[in-house]
Amino acid sequence: MQKIKRKNIYFDTVGCPKNEVDTLTMKNSIDERNFNFLNEPESAQVIVINTCSFIEEAASESIDRILELSEYKKKGSCKKLIVTGCLVERYSKDIKKELPEVDIFIGTGAFDKIYDAIKDESNNCLIHTPPNKKNLIQWYNNFSRNTSQITKTVYLRIAEGCSLHCTYCIIPELRGPYRSRPGEHILKEFQFYLDEGVKEIVLVAQDTAAYGLDLSPSYKLYKLLGQMAEIIEQKNISARIRVLYFNPQHIDNNLISVFNEYNVICSYIDLPIQHANDEILKRMGRPYRQDDLRRCIENMRSKIPDLVIRTTLLVGFPGENASHFQELLDFIHDIQFDHLGVFDYSDGDDLPSHNLSDHVSDIEKEERRHSIMTCQAEISYKRQQRFVGQVYEVLTEKESNDDPPLREGRTYFQAPEIDGITLLSGPPVPAGDFRKVRITSAMHYDLIGEVL
């Protein structure tokens, strides 16, 4: 292998936790090859930006970040700017011409080429590999993990791609069909994180509940979770497991039972339903209807004590009229989700939904999103009150910006970066530990608690 001079490198990520996993994997795949990883870009000789283009807002944020960091080629130490991820994959035909500031582009099917791109002295190229190949799964399984990159909360990818083909979503085109990682490789990575003292391991995929259905023989998520929980409990390790991104059609009683059986699995279900009107769900290409959602949620709540449910909605989809939207609002009132996020429909001429009739104006989208968030704020505040006076294990994290500063932490029902936090008063506690905390007050999204 060609030896290269030690360089400073900075990685930047735009997008969801799944993108964070890809960034960490890229960093780990080149860690032993003489690079210094920096937390800030000013002194970096190589800057890598991992992008998102799932919605227009994410694509705009990605482009803004590229242009911002490209300034370090003029005023800093940067000699090479590399852009990776979904933005490259989605706009591969035009991106080189539109972003001349960038030296190398790497699509979602070619993350494993990152080291070659960094060491190659030639610039201004695009590395694009069809994302339906198995090279990424092999890459996730085989790289050497770097202990210096490990934090107390980590994301563990259990599958790549998606096979649903919802009409509003570009992910299957960018990342290929759903491919589950073999269970033995996931468990090996899981054990590595436990050995390094990780306290919360968050499983992610486009649809975690579909894990293992494509394997032969099939190896479903409930079996994987049970094995993970057994490892923690048998070794008496202080850690917990969280799972994000369940599609409701793949939630069955076996999966529900494993949440009920093991305390180390957070009783937290992330259920991105998108909508509740049957006609809109059909136009979206979602494989369920409102009655299915009601049965699924009722079944989970009846069988998992203290269950907390998060959902994500999409408003302003083509064809959504006032009646459809009111039905969605009524559904939200009925179900009483604990956490809820809303996106405006983001159009693109490469989406099947682009060709649907009756597109909704941007103003109407914004008004509908605001209506839902106003409704949810009231729901969240009321539901938060049930936590007051209760004692929970809280994973302590960074200090807040309050004066005086309070330690921030998260309960089992607060996922990192997407839900609220718990502000901790009382004796100082180190970051990365579990502490018993009595909740003393509740706001719309955050809690305040006293360390016991």
Do residue 182 and residue 256 come from a single domain? Answer: yes
Segment 173-183 shows an average pLDDT of 92
Supply the mean pLDDT for the chain: 91
In a domain, residue 204? The reply is yes
* Paired residues of 48 in beta bridges: 11, 82
**Residues 176-206 as b or e (16 or more Cβ within 10 Å = b):** bebbbbebeebeebbebbbeeebbbbbbbbb
In a domain, residue 2? The reply is no
The two three-digit tokens of residue 198, written as one number: 């990780």
Residues 49 and 85 in one domain: yes
pLDDT in tens, 235-252: 999 999 999 999 999 999
**Is the pLDDT confidence value at 84 over 90?**
yes
Least confident of 42-51, 141-150, 278-287, 366-375: 141-150
Whether residue 143 is predicted with pLDDT greater than 80 in this model: the reply is: no
Band of pLDDT at residue 147, cut at 50, 70 and 90: low
Specify the CATH number for the domain of residue 395.
2.40.50.140
Contacts with 98 (C-beta within 8 Å, 6 or more apart), sequence order = 91
Are residues 78 and 122 located together in one domain of the fold?
yes
Task: Say if residue 93 is in the same domain as residue 213.
Answer: no
Q: Which of 71-75, 312-316, 379-383, 384-388 has the lowest mean pLDDT?
A: 71-75
Residue 1 in domain: no
Lowest-confidence range among 6-10, 165-169, 407-411? 6-10
User: Which residue segment(s) compose the domain that 403 sits in?
Assistant: 388-451
Query: Which residue has 């502000």 as its token pair?
Result: 423
Task: Mark whether 446 and 380 lie in a shared domain.
Answer: no
- Residue 259 resides in a domain: yes
Q: Is residue 190 part of a domain?
A: yes
Q: Is the pLDDT higher at 292 or at 29?
A: 292
Q: Is the pTM of this model over 0.85?
A: yes
Is 215 found in the same domain as 106? no
Surface-to-core class of residue 334, CB atoms within 10 Å of its CB (0-12 exposed, 13-18 middle, 19+ buried): exposed
Query: Does residue 141 belong to any structural domain of this protein?
Result: yes
CATH at residue 364: 3.80.30.20
417: pLDDT strictly greater than 80: yes
In angstroms, the CA 411 to CA 395 distance is 6
Q: Is 330 domain-assigned?
A: yes
Nearest CA-CA partner of 7 in 80, 72, 71, 70: 80
Instruction: Answer yes or no: do 147 and 207 share one domain.
Output: yes
pLDDT band at 31 (very low <50, low <70, confident <90, very high): low
Q: Tell me, yes or no, whether 210 and 224 share the same domain.
A: yes
Residue where one domain finishes, among candidates 367, 384, 401: 384
1 pLDDT band, cuts 50/70/90, is very low
- pLDDT > 70: percent of the chain: 93
For residues 266 and 413, membership in a common domain is answered with no
Is 271 found in the same domain as 173? Answer: yes
Q: Considering 97, 127, 157, which residue would you say is the last residue of a domain? A: 127
Please say if the pLDDT value at position 220 is more than 80.
yes
Q: Residue 25: helix, strand or coil by DSSP?
A: helix
Identify the pLDDT of residue 132: 64
Rounded Cα distance, 247 and 26, in Å: 28
pLDDT at 92 over 90: no
Residue 205 has pLDDT above 50, yes or no: yes
**In a shared domain, residues 22 and 51:** yes
pLDDT value, residue 83: 95
pLDDT confidence of residue 24: 87
Q: Which of 90-94, 148-152, 205-209 has the lowest mean pLDDT?
A: 148-152
Q: 340 pLDDT exceeds 50?
A: yes
Phi first, then psi: give them for residue 127, nearest 5 degrees: -110, 110
pLDDT at 167 over 70: yes
Q: Tell me the pLDDT tens digit for each residue of 263-318.
A: 999 999 999 999 999 999 999 999 999 999 999 999 999 999 899 999 999 999 99
- pLDDT grade, residue 56 (50/70/90)? confident
**CA dist., res. 61 & res. 39, Å (int):** 20
Integer Cα distance of 262 and 264 in angstroms: 5
**Amino acid 105: pLDDT:** 93
* Cβ 51 vs Cβ 85: under 8 Å: yes
Residue 57: band (very low, low, confident or very high) from pLDDT cuts 50, 70, 90: confident
Same domain, 259 and 119: no
Q: Given pLDDT bands bounded at 50, 70 and 90, which one contains residue 123?
A: low
User: What is the DSSP code string of 386-400?
Assistant: GGTT-EEEEEEEEE-
Q: What is the pLDDT of residue 87?
A: 93
CA angle at residue 260 from 256 to 266, to 5 degrees? 95
Residue 359 lies in a domain: yes
Number of domains in the chain: 3
> Which of 326, 349, 384 is at the close of a domain?
384
> pLDDT tens digit string along 423-432?
998 887 888 9
Measured CA to CA, the distance from residue 327 to residue 332 in angstroms comes to 9
pLDDT band at 134 (very low <50, low <70, confident <90, very high): low
pLDDT over 70 (residue 446):
yes
Give the pLDDT score at 405: 66
3-state secondary structure of 257: helix
CATH number for the domain including 34?
A: 3.40.50.12160
